[in-house]
Amino acid sequence: MSRGPLEAPERDLSPLPYDIRNLFDAATRHYATKVVCKRCGWTVIFDPHALWWFCKCRGVDMALRGLAGRFRCTVCGQRGPKLSLVRANRSNSSLPMPDYREWKRAVSRYRN
């Protein structure tokens, strides 16, 4: 039985994995960010590279623990959704992807 993109295994952020502390760590390990509204249950999965680029361009702190307060549900307007890391395809393509050279430059800085 195959799993759909919303039924993929999740990594809850409460027992955070040791090596994934921010959006860049999640993007380098190809973990998408699943955002679920606590009030209405609306779910969206963001591409890890696009979400990293979006936050980097706006100067947003990319630590996973503080990121939930920056999201707001597009359906009901509730702030503070539940975030989890999933191995799934994105369901939202509204965020722009980073330039290939910019991504490779960031990965190079990370490895050094």
pLDDT at 3: 45
User: Which tokens sit at 74?
Assistant: 């597009």
pLDDT band at 15 (very low <50, low <70, confident <90, very high): low
Environment class of 13 (CB within 10 Å of its CB; exposed 0-12, middle 13-18, buried 19+) = middle
- C-beta separation of 11 from 20 below 8 A: yes
> What's the pTM value of the predicted model, to 2 decimals?
0.74
pLDDT at 18: 57
Residue 50 token pair: 């696009």
Average pLDDT estimate for 35-42: 94
Buried b (16+ CB within 10 A) or exposed e, 58-95: eeeebebeebeeebebeeeeeeebbbbbbebebebeeb
Distance CA 11, CA 8 (A): 10
Q: What is the pLDDT of residues 83-99, one digit of tens each?
A: 999 988 767 778 888 88
